[in-house]
Amino acid sequence: MKIAIVGLGTVGSGVAQILTTHKARTAARTGTNIDIVHAVVRDLKKPRDCDLPSSIVTDDLAVLNDPAIDTVVELIGGTTIARDVVLTALKNGKNVVTANKALLCVHGDEVFRTARELGRTVCFEAAVAGGVPIIEAVGQSLASNQVTSLEGILNGTCNFILTEMFLKEKTYNDAVRLAQEKGYAEADPTMDVAGTDAAQKLTVLVRLAFGLRISTDDFLVKGIDSLTLTDLQQAAHLGYRVKLLCTAKLHGDKLELHCQPTFIRREQPLADVDDAYNMIELHGDAVGKTWFSGMGAGQMPTASAVVADIISLAVGRAQLTFPRLTLLEESTGITILPKEEIQRRFYLRFSALDKPGTLSRIANVLGEHKISISSLIQHDETLGPPTPSTDDESYVPMVIITHLATEGQMLAADKDLAKLKCLAPPHVRLPIRD
């Protein structure tokens, strides 16, 4: 098997390391030698984290037309050049391995359709949850099931930041800085902390598990960038941990979909996933609940998944299963539950004027929207001290836990609460996973 790797950055050089260091092991498992015949980079002068002969490293994408190549491994990222590389490879008769969730989220239709039409295969295990074999699990190992719910911590960077904030009492900015120093977060961490990266991974999983072609604009996506230590500590005080949670849950033929920071009960496995680890809790109608966990990113965990895809192509397994995956379903009968109808309990935190009548005003607004209060916490040491204001009135932190309410009710209440003069920012609202 002759492959070309496009991109020798973090993941690409990890793939090259495995294939060169463990050539005999890979050959024994596939019954064939896997040779890297071309590796394409942007800057030929950059030092590389792998030992490939300089004769095969090039900055010329035209080498991908080499008829000797069986498989193109796309590891450059992004949605423009990567799209060209993948589509050209398929049209030239090559199979493709990619770790690029952004590409599959934005151009998945075109990529999968082109591959199907041309009888080629696209493998993408590394695109979701790095080293955790969730694509294989959903597409193959659990093929006898209808997935009924899928909830996951899919962004290791966010999970690392939240862990550092909670366990080490760091501010959000300090935790982001540490994530950057450790190589978990990019110089511009927006894609991770705004929830976009996790939401893109959710679209890939939803497509595979429910045959639904969606974009990140089709559902509620919120990041961790406005969370404070106070909320994480308050969650713990109430018996929860806060995680950036992606959810896809079937209610009949409606799919509840969202990606947002969520309170998770401390005794639940998802609450116990720290650092840069990912976890997916998946419920199938036959198997019941299953959990998949491991490193969601990083050089070798991601390379592990990429090389597994290459091996799967080498033995011919991927070519058999790819045509049957539910990636191009025209109609499964499943539609997205409108976000206004999603029902949860909520955690609300306000800065409230410390005067008689404040509580009744808040309760009135919630009552007008038929939201009932389950519990209320005020003047609690975990919430911090009151904030004095210039006119000698102080604002005290207040937490309310609601009973079940819909997102629609809460959105309407948010607007009316924002008009109350007895409340000052912040106005935090986080869903609770029961």
Q: So which residues are the catalytic ones? A: 201
Shortest reach from residue 156's CB to ligand NAP, in Å:
8
Q: Which is nearer to ligand NAP, 100 or 234 (CB)?
A: 100
Q: Using CB atoms within 10 A of its CB, is residue 392 exposed (0-12), middle (13-18) or buried (19+)?
A: exposed
Task: Tell me the two tokens of residue 378.
Answer: 């005020």
Shortest reach from residue 34's CB to ligand NAP, in Å:
19
Q: Which is nearer to ligand NAP, 304 or 406 (CB)?
A: 304
Q: CB–CB of 405/346 below 8 Å?
A: yes
Q: CB–CB of 205/149 below 8 Å?
A: no
Whole-angstrom Cα distance, residue 193 to residue 159?
10
Shortest reach from residue 345's CB to ligand NAP, in Å:
33
Nearest to 138 by CA among 290, 244, 303: 290
Task: Tell me the two tokens of residue 41.
Answer: 């980079």
Q: Which is nearer to ligand NAP, 75 or 365 (CB)?
A: 75
Q: Which is nearer to ligand NAP, 12 or 108 (CB)?
A: 12
Whole-angstrom Cα distance, residue 27 to residue 302?
20
Between β-strands 394-402 and 343-353, what pairing exists: parallel, antiparallel or unpaired? antiparallel
Shortest reach from residue 305's CB to ligand NAP, in Å:
8
Q: Which is nearer to ligand NAP, 185 or 250 (CB)?
A: 185
Task: Tell me the two tokens of residue 43.
Answer: 């800057």
Shortest reach from residue 288's CB to ligand NAP, in Å:
29
Residue 258 φ then ψ, to 5° = -165, 160
Q: Which is nearer to ligand NAP, 8 or 400 (CB)?
A: 8
Whole-angstrom Cα distance, residue 34 to residue 71?
10
Q: Which residues, including other chains, have CB under 8 Å from residue 378's CB and lie 6 or more apart? A: 352, 396, 397, 398, 399
Whole-angstrom Cα distance, residue 399 to residue 98?
45
Which residues sit at the interface with ligand NAP, rule CB under 6 A? 6-12, 40-43, 46, 61, 75-77, 81, 99-100, 126, 130, 297-298, 302
Matching residue, tokens 């007895």: 422
Shortest reach from residue 376's CB to ligand NAP, in Å:
43
Task: Find residue 151's DSSP bridge partners.
Answer: 247, 281
List Cα–Cα distances, 300 to 9, 27, 339, in angstroms.
Answer: 12, 19, 37
Planar angle of CA 352, 357, 363, nearest 5 degrees: 75
Q: Which is nearer to ligand NAP, 46 or 289 (CB)?
A: 46
When CB distances to ligand NAP are compared, the closest residue is 9
Shortest reach from residue 87's CB to ligand NAP, in Å:
15
Q: CB–CB of 344/434 below 8 Å?
A: yes
